[in-house]
Structure 1
Amino acid sequence: MGGRAKQRWRCVLPDGSYHRFLGAMSRTIAADSTCVECENHIASHEGPVAPAQGEYLVREIAGALVDIGRGQTYTDAAKRVRARGNIGKTGARREVINGQTVADWMADVVPAVAARHLVTQWPSVLVLDSSTFFWTDPLTGKSLALYCILAAFGYDKDGKNGRLWKVEAAPVGDGAAWAEFLGSLPGKPDSIVCDQDRAIIAGIISHWGDWAAMDLVHYCEHHLTERVRAAFKSDKVAADDRLRQVFHGAFTSREQWDAFEAEVISRPTLLLTNGWMAKNMTWMRRQTERRAQIPPVSSNGAVEQPLREIRQMLQTRAFMFRNRARLNQVLVLMRLASMRVDTATDYASDIRAFLDAHNGHPPRTYRAAYDTTANQSGEAPLGSLWAPKAQIAMTEARANRALASARAKEIANAKESRAAPKAISLKS
């Protein structure tokens, strides 16, 4: 069918008979005899490599993975590699219907390109946060959590060399999900920074014990500040009020916290500010007491930014993801993109090494991610990503809409039947 010719080799026996074969990594015939990387002349048999039984070049597979990590859909990435694969075709040109080809590559080679940046244990400083996608019933307006993205940002003991450590999807973002997330790696951090998220705290307690919540957790000072300022605004605390001056730096030491606490309690008319103080003063006394001993990381802003970027890339097609394992493969590539290590050159090098190690025929693992789980009644399969409660509610909503549509048609047909003119029989 034309297109890319692959270099074959001839094995000749002493009697002159021979057979042809492809190497573990098949090289395509060099089209322009110039390397696209170094611009040096190359022989025709030194062209770019492709899997022995594959049509696409390794560097095209690598480029597709980079695109996925930067927010492109499977279908868009597949169309790009298909457009290049069609060059030189003399037979029928193949068109892309969906992104199944790229989806298969994801399962096969994402572990290979992620291996050099794989983390093996939790860092000294761990920053945690999550982002939840919701489904809203268009008829009732009721919203249910669809699935959640859990993320961890890590630093060394000096609060430096930060990077997105781990990101995964879960059907729900409750304490059990966080415990599973934290249990996926060994080790124990020296400090954990998070918002006042009960699910995160429950996960920490479930995995490391009650002592971890008391000794390791440091509530994000940025979010604490925002909540106090919101209380000030509701209580109409003036911009030049002394309370605002006392509040400045209140989270940095026990002495400054005690001064702020005393000032708030002395002014009982500030209802919301005193309400916030009543809920948080016991915790904040302990947190400010050990503030000087923790690493220099006191807010979770570092993890919020990559989470925001990931959400923006997924938002428009959030409902397209229903398989947890496959979305986690996408999140692995998005993590590498967040770390700015997603280069097609490195990916291609890792894929070539992976294929060489398997003699050009790596194990096909994409079928292992298929969803086969049924719901409790055994009537319909449930996807591994979406929360079961939301899936059941969707099924009920679809059934109700179908029933309402059927009833509307019956009413319309009945009206037409009553409105139709009746035939009159005339006797001659």
Structure 2
Amino acid sequence: MSFSVSRNKGEFEWAGKNLFTVFVQPKNLFNLNMWKTVYDIMKFNFHAIDLLELEDDHPEKKMNLGEYLDLHGYSSAFKDNYLLPMTAAIWSTPPDKCALDFPALTLIQFMHNHCLLQVMNRVQWFTIKNGSRKYVETIIPHIHSVHLSTKVTSITRKPSNPSDPSSSPIITITDSSGRSEEFDHVIFATHADQTLQILGDQATDDEKRILGKVHFSKNRAVLHSDLSLMPKRRFAFSAWNYITKSTESSLNTDQVSLTYDMNILQSIDKSTYGPVLVTLNPLYEPDPSKVVGSWSYDHPLYTPEMITAQDELHTIQNLPNLATTFAGAWTKYGFHEDGFASGLKIANGLLGASSPFEIIDATHIRGRRAELNLIEKVQRRLWIWFEMWVEMVCIILNIMKVYYEMAYKWTNKKKNE
């Protein structure tokens, strides 16, 4: 999965496909911040998995991303030119929302699971042929009753036996047309904030507290073919392209957009369809003649609050006196697979459905601890050896700098005498 960063219409650019694209701007060969970024990327990829090796009660496992990066001496260039842009691209979230209070363990575990910490031989990502519409079209014929374009406006939960408040409830669902139907259980496969809106005053204090911790970011997605919303240099074109603009008052990022190259991500033939791009929150409007459509999406914000809500969610699931269950991609990492797994778990546990395949929790799909193969172990040893030499050179240079400054002061003192 290739990735690029382009700042101020190409004033600063790099891409991670190979060494040439890292220095797609030759002047960056003499840019100290670029070398800091490259060094810290390698350092992070080799050492981040050490966090997974620590005991669960180790203080470092409780750190947020900012604390973790500061503890291990990562540069601001690494944060601004790699880690925050990468996090923003993965979760389709503006970088100002991808704050450094993001739990370090969660991010590193995710990157390890998806082989994003591998320096070489990264795995090939796959997608559903013809997109997510395909699996929706496959599932719908197997559902007996589907109400399309039918907005649920409210629900009420009342005990089936009025004299016994603890009896199983009867749930009345009302839609936007005013029609009401009664059910013995309701599954909310909606965003947490939408769920609270539908529940209204029917929401319990615990439901308000837990679901209220899950927040979403509104993002505008534009499908187009305007290459001006890609990096300036074609060699930097990647699957994920982080396009940013800075002002004189800010050295980092004031405005950001993300352009996804669907020719790469969905294997869309460029010779047939031309460039097919999706830009999230474009910095400026693409050429209208090249725009296919524009849509608004809500993406979950992965915050410490959200993780707390995920940990507490089981306390409000399928309670006998409420007969309500909550599902959605937001219950895990926020991806299609998470939404699918969330629904499947409820179908198996609540509805007695059986799955034709084994269900495995992907949170630790590659193990709670990192297991390295022989090649990875050799790479890691070589990197540690290289780090030692870099540190030694830096120490020697600093000593030489101190001696030079002392000699310079002594020489000036002699001249003055």
What's the TM-score, normalizing by structure 2?
Answer: 0.22
What's the TM-score, normalizing by structure 1?
Answer: 0.22
Larger fraction in strand: 2
